């Protein structure tokens, strides 16, 4: 058993407890929610590049793909094909608001259980799809699962984690997302050679993490915060003892009770969120998600195989290249886990902006120069160079905007608006993921290489925003953000200290 340690963070009160095996098990099971999300992100690009899938559901796209003189950039431009990918995110957007209510009213655990049931039905409909309607309905149900899981899992992880390792544990959600994407890339690589049902295997294997989440969720506990918030005070104390592995949890218990009392005074968290004093964390949570998506990451995560075919690789090589970018994504996330509490959030975000700007710019330049719409291919060397640049781009994203896009919104809201505020972060993420999923192939077709300059321009904007407007939150206790961050900031302080800050309930 791990030795008893005193857990604390900076000037946070030091609570007693150790990192128990039980907490570790709960964390791994819950993180399967992230794995499901990642699997869904990674699987659709490979499936939409499989001929058997296209022949069955999108014969027009299949025909177009066969034409030798087809426009390089437009092979896959089809609104329905994009809807296959994007419908999931639209559903997740709506579901995350419902999930936020379920999460506060019934707890994190049932929210995750509902997510797993949505996932399981969604998997059955997509893998067993006989027509496009059935497949799209399946994607919508998967989206509901994503909305519920993404709302509950990060909060569950943050509330269960001992304070000292909360940042790292929170990023384990992103780590599982990237592992899910990588597994999906590997499955696609293998299943694309199984005819004619490879795509069914790809979509069906999503059932495994869903089953783990479904059955595993019976073994996990509810978080003490959620129990106490719902007046199950003694049960909350019992669970706190169990997860911390010590009898004396009085101090931490009292602090949760106090936070819950404060939160309870706010009857309408969504209304409170609209008041000026809530604006700084809300604007930042939403903008981080917008910027995260406008890095262009999902153009690569969803459509890497399509993109790599566009630059001239065959089907297999294109899928293999996606496996490589998927692996880089996983490994680079560890860099973030290691550095985030040492180097800080801002430096990671800014460094990544430079790295992503350069790589997007060079990719755009190469394609503009050498990949014309018709009768033109990149040389093998150039195509490999593009893959390397894509890897460098993914690397930068994976240690910055990927994990921090989720971490920062989860640590900057006060408890009374935390679930409501986080619901805005989740739904903004889904909205902009939807926009990229729905528009990318058409944008690629119309803007051609210019699409990379479009993303590069956004990277400049987000770099400036980070430099001037994003406060550093490294080492700041979660419940001192208002005093230590917002009230001290040259710009955001103007929203603080008004009547609203104290009175709105």
The yes or no reply on residue 405 touching ligand BGC (CB under 6 A) is yes
Please state the closest distance from residue 115 (CB atom) to ligand BGC, in A: 16
Q: What length does the chain have?
A: 505
Say how far apart CA 81 and CA 67 lie, in whole Å.
Answer: 18
Please state the closest distance from residue 181 (CB atom) to ligand BGC, in A: 6
Cα 278–279–282 angle (5° rounding)?
90
Please state the closest distance from residue 405 (CB atom) to ligand BGC, in A: 5
**Residues 422-441 contacting ligand BGC, CB under 6 A:** 429, 433
Please state the closest distance from residue 329 (CB atom) to ligand BGC, in A: 5
Please state the closest distance from residue 214 (CB atom) to ligand BGC, in A: 23
The yes or no reply on residue 146 touching ligand BGC (CB under 6 A) is no
CA distances from 192 to 39, 121, 186, 316 (A): 16, 24, 10, 8
Number of shown-chain residues binding ligand BGC (CB under 6 A): 14
Please state the closest distance from residue 258 (CB atom) to ligand BGC, in A: 32
Binding mask of the shown chain, residues 328 to 357, with x at each position contacting ligand BGC by CB under 6 A:
-x----------------------------
Contacts of 2 (CB under 8 A, 6+ apart): 18, 19, 20, 21, 245
15 bridge partner residues: 7
Kindly indicate which of the ranges 293-301, 336-344, 354-362, 371-379 contains the residues binding ligand BGC, using the contact rule CB under 6 A.
Answer: 293-301
Tokens 């890897």 found at: 391
The yes or no reply on residue 410 touching ligand BGC (CB under 6 A) is no
Q: Residue 51 burial by CB count (10 A; 0-12/13-18/19+): exposed, middle or buried?
A: middle
Pick 165 or 435: Cβ nearer ligand BGC:
435
16 bridge partner residues: 6
The yes or no reply on residue 367 touching ligand BGC (CB under 6 A) is no
Pick 23 or 444: Cβ nearer ligand BGC:
444
DSSP characters over 4-56: PEEE--TTSPPEEE---HHHHHHHHHHHHHHHHHHHHHHHHHHHHT-HHHHHH
Say how far apart CA 85 and CA 445 lie, in whole Å.
Answer: 17
**Residues 11-70 contacting ligand BGC, CB under 6 A:** 41
DSSP characters over 274-319: TSGGGHHHHHHHHHHHHHHHHTTHHHHHHHHHHHHHHTT--HHHHH
**Residues 256-285 contacting ligand BGC, CB under 6 A:** none
The yes or no reply on residue 205 touching ligand BGC (CB under 6 A) is no
The radius of gyration of the chain's CA atoms, rounded to the nearest angstrom, is: 23
Please state the closest distance from residue 301 (CB atom) to ligand BGC, in A: 4
The yes or no reply on residue 85 touching ligand BGC (CB under 6 A) is no
The yes or no reply on residue 301 touching ligand BGC (CB under 6 A) is yes
| 237 three-class SS | helix
Among 402, 409, 463, 471, binds ligand BGC (CB under 6 A): 402
Pick 100 or 178: Cβ nearer ligand BGC:
178
Please state the closest distance from residue 91 (CB atom) to ligand BGC, in A: 15
Pick 280 or 405: Cβ nearer ligand BGC:
405
**Residues 159-188 contacting ligand BGC, CB under 6 A:** 174, 177-178, 181
What does the buried/exposed string (b/e) look like for 3-15 if buried means 16 or more CB atoms within 10 Å of the residue's CB? eeeebebeebeeb
Please state the closest distance from residue 402 (CB atom) to ligand BGC, in A: 4
- The footprint of ligand BGC (CB under 6 A) covers 41, 174, 177-178, 181, 292, 297-298, 301, 329, 402, 405, 429, 433
């Amino acid at each position: 058993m791990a030795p008893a340690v005193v857990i604390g963070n900076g000037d946070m009160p030091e609570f007693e407890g150790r990192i128990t095996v039980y907490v570790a098990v709960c964390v791994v099971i819950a993180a399967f929610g992230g794995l499901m999300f990642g699997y869904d992100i990674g699987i659709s690009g490979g499936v939409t590049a499989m001929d058997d899938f296209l022949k069955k559901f999108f014969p027009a796209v299949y025909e177009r793909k066969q034409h030798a003189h087809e426009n390089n950039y437009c092979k896959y431009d089809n609104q329905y094909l994009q809807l296959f990918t994007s419908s999931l995110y639209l559903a997740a957007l709506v579901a995350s608001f419902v999930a936020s209510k379920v999460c506060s009213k019934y707890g994190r655990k049932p929210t995750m259980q509902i997510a797993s049931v949505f996932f399981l039905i969604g998997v059955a409909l997509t893998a067993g799809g006989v027509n496009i309607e059935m497949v799209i309905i399946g994607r919508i149900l998967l989206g509901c699962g994503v909305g519920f899981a993404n709302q509950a899992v990060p909060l569950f992880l943050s509330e269960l984690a001992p304070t000292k390792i909360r940042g790292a544990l929170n990023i384990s959600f992103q780590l599982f997302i990237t592992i899910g994407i990588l597994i999906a890339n590997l499955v696609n690589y293998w299943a694309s050679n199984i005819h004619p049902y490879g795509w069914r295997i790809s979509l069906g294997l999503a059932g495994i993490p869903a089953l783990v989440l479904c059955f595993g969720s019976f073994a996990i506990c509810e978080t003490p915060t959620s129990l106490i918030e719902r007046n199950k005070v003694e049960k909350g104390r019992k669970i706190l003892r169990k997860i911390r592995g010590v009898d004396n949890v009085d101090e931490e218990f009292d602090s949760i009770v106090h936070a819950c009392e404060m939160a309870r005074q706010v009857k309408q968290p969504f209304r409170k969120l609209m008041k000026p004093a809530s604006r700084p964390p809300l604007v930042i949570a939403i903008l981080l998600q917008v910027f995260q998506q406008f890095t262009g990451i999902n153009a690569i995560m969803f459509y890497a195989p399509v993109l790599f075919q566009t630059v001239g690789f065959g089907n297999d090589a294109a899928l293999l290249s996606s496996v490589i970018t998927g692996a880089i994504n996983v490994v680079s996330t560890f860099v973030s886990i290691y550095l985030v509490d040492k180097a800080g959030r801002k430096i990671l975000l800014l460094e990544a902006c430079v790295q992503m700007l350069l790589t997007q710019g060079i990719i755009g330049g190469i394609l503009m120069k050498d990949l014309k719409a018709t009768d033109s291919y990149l040389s093998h060397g150039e195509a490999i160079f593009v893959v390397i640049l894509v890897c460098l781009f993914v690397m930068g994203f994976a240690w910055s905007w990927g994990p921090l896009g989720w971490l920062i919104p989860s640590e900057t809201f006060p408890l009374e608006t935390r679930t409501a505020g986080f619901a805005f972060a989740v739904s903004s993420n889904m909205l902009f993921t939807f926009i990229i999923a729905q528009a990318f192939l058409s944008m690629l077709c119309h803007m051609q290489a210019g699409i990379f300059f479009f993303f590069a321009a956004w990277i400049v904007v987000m770099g400036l925003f980070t430099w001037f407007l994003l406060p550093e939150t490294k080492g700041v206790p979660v419940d001192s953000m208002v005093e230590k961050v917002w009230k001290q900031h040259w710009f955001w302080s103007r929203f603080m200290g008004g009547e609203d800050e104290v009175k709105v309930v």
